[in-house]
Every structure is written in structure tokens, then in C-alpha cells.
Structure 1
Amino acid sequence: MKNDGFLLPSAPNFRDLGGHRTKEGRTVRDGLLFRSDALHSVSEQDLPTYQGLGIRQLIDLRTHHERDRLPDLVPEGAEYAAVGVQNAEAAGANFVETLADPERARAMFSDGAAERFMFNVYRELVSDAEALEGYRDLVERAAKGPTSLVFHCSAGKDRTGWGAALLLTLLGVEREAVTEDYLTSNERQANTDFWMRELSRHSGLPWEDVQPMTRVRADYLDTAYTHIEELYGSFDNYVVNGLKLSGGTIESLKQRMLA
């Protein structure tokens, strides 16, 4: 995949999913499908670039807690859709509230609990009802809605990371390349580090207890694929029986996104 650098330095995990090669030798088209961290922080300096990308759909994967606190800057002429993929009332879903309570934060995330929490997040992203409905919606919007499209969460690494892995896998990109794209988020977490360090200080949790939640790891992503095998037997069965995506939708996605 090409390296497009930092398209929006103020949203460092904003990037194009174009350029990936598929198993059949086709290429994901540039400029149609973008992934990002939160889009409330786009600076005045980056605004002309952001507005000039031709984005016509913005899909916000955050919970209502996050959306209400930090509303997106929506490009002119773009459709905005809140598409939740996580139970907003689940334990740990509202990071700010959880980490603002030192006792609750220590109970949830200290002594290795943050790592266990992350593995569970990835299992939930492929099994919970909200996630199945939300990711189906994401794929259908990518296949049939106006493009270009950007989807994002807060850090652009976990909920967005699985969304990107799902879309690229559906398009026929090799697993190794999907994982490489996923791990690229680690180079783009300046914004996440800033606010997570602030939350860590307020919670009284040592940084090493919080750090597993600030980066992506191949074994996190592997957990999602493994859980799919456990629940559905195969990725294809997950698509059909879990996400309930039609063959027509997948074909439309490929026709639109592949050159």
C-alpha cells in the first residue's frame, strides 16, 4: 500500500484505505474510503484539505457519550450518520467517566486488567448485537451510499480498526496486509496519547496500566478473527449469518471500491 503520509496532521489517524492489492490482483481505489480518529479536532490549517477530499458520507462509530462531548466537524455537503458499534452503557464504554473515578478506574484497568479489557473489546466487536448491526450498516453505506466516505471513532484504532479490517477482508485483501494497515495506527496516536495521559493523571492510574488501551496489537486483531471462527466457523459465515450481509451488497462494494 502507498504511504499517503499525514493527510490531516490535526487528525493524525485520518488515512486513505486505497492502494491495497487483493488476492485476485485488483486494487482498492484511492479517494473513496477513508478511516480516521475523531473529527472534532480538524484545525483551521487542515480545513481546506479536509473540505477538498470530496467526502459525501461521514460515519461516526462513537457512542453518544463521545459524540455529545466532542461533535464532529462535518465536511460541507456530507451526510452525517451516527452508527454505534458498542453498547454505550457497557462497562468501560465511557472512558472519561470511568477514568474520572479513581476507584472505578483502578478496579477496571489496573494490574493487567486493561489488557484483558482490550481482548474482550475485540470479541464484542464481532459478537454483540450492537456491533453486528453497526458494522452491517457501515458496509451497506460503503457499498450503496454516496462516496467518498470516512468512518471513525475516537482514536481510530479499535472500532475503526475492525471496520477497516472487515471492509478490506470483504474486498479480498490478504490478511497480512490487513494487519499491516491495522498496526499503522500505532504511528498515529499523538492525539490519543495526549488525552489518555490526561485521563491517566486524573485517575491516578500509572501509565503502564493504561498503555495497553492506547495502542493496537496484532493479537488484539487476531482475537476478533479467532472469535469469529469460534462463533460462526468461518469469516464467510460471520458475514452471512452474523452481519446478515447479502451477496448483492458485497458485489456492489467490490464494484465500487476495486479497480
Structure 2
Amino acid sequence: MTYLAPAPLSTAPNFRDLGGHATRGGGRVRPGVVFRSDALDRVDAADMRTLEEAGVRQVIDLRTSFERESRPDRLPEGADHVVLDVQGDHSTGADLVQVLTEPGRARTVFGDGGATRFMHEVNRVLVSAEDARAGYAEMVRRIAAGPGAAVVHCTAGKDRTGWAAAVLLEILEVPRETVFADYLASNDRLVRMQELTREACERSGVDPALVAPMTECRRAYLEDAYAEVERVFGTFEGYVRDGLGLDRPTVEAVRGRMLGQ
């Protein structure tokens, strides 16, 4: 049977299939098993049909409680909503819009290169913080077990979801340059989010240029995550084994579900 890729989602522009990438061993990531996305709170009827036709049975939500409560997901019929807050116990879990409601605090947090430092810290925390490791480990277990397709998302679909995608692609032995390309591909899909952030800045009297580093995917951010892997766990295999606590059967199960020829 020929696989028909789902149409782009107009209400979630960073939605895309994680499948199609070649692996180092000559295989290929199977399309239609895992999708990555931005938030699904604005999904309209047409986009909901797309998700249902794609067989989505799990929506794995990596957002904080503030984000989930202010922008609750709309779910395909029959899909489980799986909450895996990978930032809940750390200061980097603060929602950007929430910070912008306090202009003085925003200028303190983001000024003098603070936004760039914040993003580097976020990417390190996603690797080594206990709640992040627990969340990403559970994500892998759920994808390994199924059933059906899964959508993994945060708010913009770029940082928390970007690391989720990196974890899965690394487990599947996709070349690292391909992992970086997948991460950076979000930049072409973030125009609406960047516009909304600029508008929020203007309402709060905050210079949008101060916040701009938080609305972009930069290679250096993901490089920091990999550097944290090496610093704390030595290798990516060590991160998967010791950081995420994933055993060989789980790794083989996710490969079995997500790899084809």
C-alpha cells in the first residue's frame, strides 16, 4: 500500500512527519508513525480530519501546566492525551507569554543577551534535568508500545519537541547532520509564532529584539544539548541507557515500529 503523507496543517504550521530520514545502516524511518508539531489548541475541522485520517492515537504534550491550561489541545477522536511536562520542576519552564505580562521582569530576563543565555540553558536542562529525562523516557516507551501514530508537541514545536525528535532519530541511528537539519527546519514554519511574540512584546513595552533569540532554532542551541549529553553521560548511548533508563528491549521495540527499508 502506498503511503499518503498527511496534508500540512494550516492551524499548526510546524506539524510534520518524522519519517522519511535515511539511517546510517541503510534503512529509513517509517512515515506515519510519529509526527512532531506545535500546539494543537487551534486545530480546525479540516486539520482534525487530517489527524484522524493519519491514525493519530496518542498526543504527547510536553508543555507546562500554564501552557496546557491557557491553550488546551484539541484531540482527534479516540486519541489519548499524554502529559509529559519536561520543564515543570525547573525555572526554564516559565511560559514566554506569561513572562511578557511583567515588562520589568521581561527586560531583566531577556536584556543584555539574557534570551540567548536562557535558550542555551533550556537545551542543557532538557538533557540532564530529572523531569526532562523522565518525560523523554516515557515518550519513547509509549511510542514503542503504540498503538497507532503519535504526535509529539510543545507550544512552538521547536525546542522541547526538537529534542524529542533528536532523541528518537538518534535511537534510530539517523546521521547527526540529518538530526540538525530536521531541528533547523522549524525556522521556516515559525513566522506566525514570531509575529505573535512581537505583538506581545509591543503590548508589554518590551523591545522585540531582546526576545528574538527565543523564537528561533539556532544550531548552537542543539550543539549545547549534545555537549551536555557528553558532559554528563559520555555518549548518546550512555544518555539513553543511564539518563533515560531505557533497556535494550524498549530500544529495539521503538526501532521495530519506526524503521523500514
Tell me whether the two structures share a fold, i.e. TM-score over 0.5.
yes
Structure 2 CA distance for aligned equivalents of residues 146 and 91 of structure 1: 32
**244 and 52 in structure 1: CA distance in 2 versus 1, 3 angstrom threshold:** same
Match of 1:191 in 2: 192
Deviation at 1:200, TM superposition (A): 1.2
Q: CA RMSD in A?
A: 1.4
Checking the alignment, whether the CA contact within 8 Å between 1:228 and 1:235 is kept in structure 2 is yes
Shifted more, 206-215 versus 85-94: the winner is 85-94
Q: CA deviation at 1:173?
A: 0.2
Q: 1:33 matched to which residue of 2?
A: 34
SS of 2:222 mapped into structure 1? helix
Secondary structure of 1:86 counterpart: coil
In the TM superposition, residue 96 of structure 1 has moved relative to its aligned partner by 2.2
Give, as a single letter, the amino acid of the residue that structure 2 aligns with 1:242.
Answer: G
The code of the aligned residue for 2:83 comes to A
Q: Give me the whole-angstrom Cα distance separating, in 1, the residues matched to 2:111 and 2:135.
A: 30
Spell out, residue by residue over 1:178-211, the C-alpha distance to the aligned partner (whole angstroms, 9 max, x if none): 0001000000013311321122113322121111
Structure 1 counterpart of 2:222: 221
Which residue does 1:176 correspond to in 2?
177
Question: How many angstroms does 1:92 deviate by?
Answer: 5.7
Q: Given residue 32 of structure 1, which amino acid in structure 2 is its aligned partner?
A: V
Kept in 1: contact 2:30–2:258 (CA 8 A)? yes
> 8 Å contact 1:229–1:235 — kept in the other structure?
yes
Task: Give yes or no for the alignment of 1:252 onto 2:253.
Answer: yes
Deviation at 1:7, TM superposition (A): 1.3
AA paired with 2:54?
L
Give the whole-Å Cα distance in 2 for the aligned partners of 1:245 and 1:35. Answer: 21
Aligned length: 256
1:112 paired with 2:113, answer yes
Question: Which moves more between the two structures, 4-13 or 149-158?
Answer: 4-13
Q: Secondary structure at 1:202's aligned position in 2?
A: helix
Q: Deviations over 1:49-94 (max 9, x none)?
A: 2221110111000001000011101000111111111025625612
2: CA distance, partners of 1:157 / 1:138: 16
Alpha-carbon offset, residue 223 of structure 1: 0.3
Give, in whole Å, the separation in 2 of the partners of 1:251 and 1:138: 15
1:14 aligns with 15
1:230 and 2:231 correspond: yes
8 Å Cα contact 2:6-2:54 kept in structure 1: no
Which one-letter code corresponds to 2:178 in the other structure? A
Letter in 2 for 1:170: I
Residue deviations 1:144-165, cap 9 Å, x none?
1312010100000000000001
Q: Mapping of 1:201-220 within 5 angstroms?
A: 201-220=202-221
Whole-angstrom CA distance in 2 between matches of 1:93 and 1:231: 24
Structure 1 residues 82 and 99: CA distance shift in structure 2, 3 A: same
CA distance in 1, matches of 2:22, 2:190: 26
TM-score, normalised relative to structure 1: 0.95
Kept in 1, the 8 Å contact 2:158–2:186? The answer is yes
Q: Within 1, Cα distance between the matches of 2:137 and 2:227? A: 19
Aligned to 2:166: 165
CA contact (8 A) 1:6 1:12 kept: no
Tell me the distance in 2 between the aligned counterparts of 1:186 and 1:9: 16
Do 2:64 and 2:93's aligned partners in 1 also have CA atoms closer than 8 Å? no
Matching residue of 2:56? 55
Cα displacement (A) at 1:45: 3.4
Change (3 A) 1:115 1:47: same
Alignment of 1:75-154 (within 5 A): 75-87=76-88, 90-91=91-92, 93-154=94-155
TM-score by length of 2: 0.94
Determine helix, strand or coil for the equivalent of 1:24.
Answer: coil
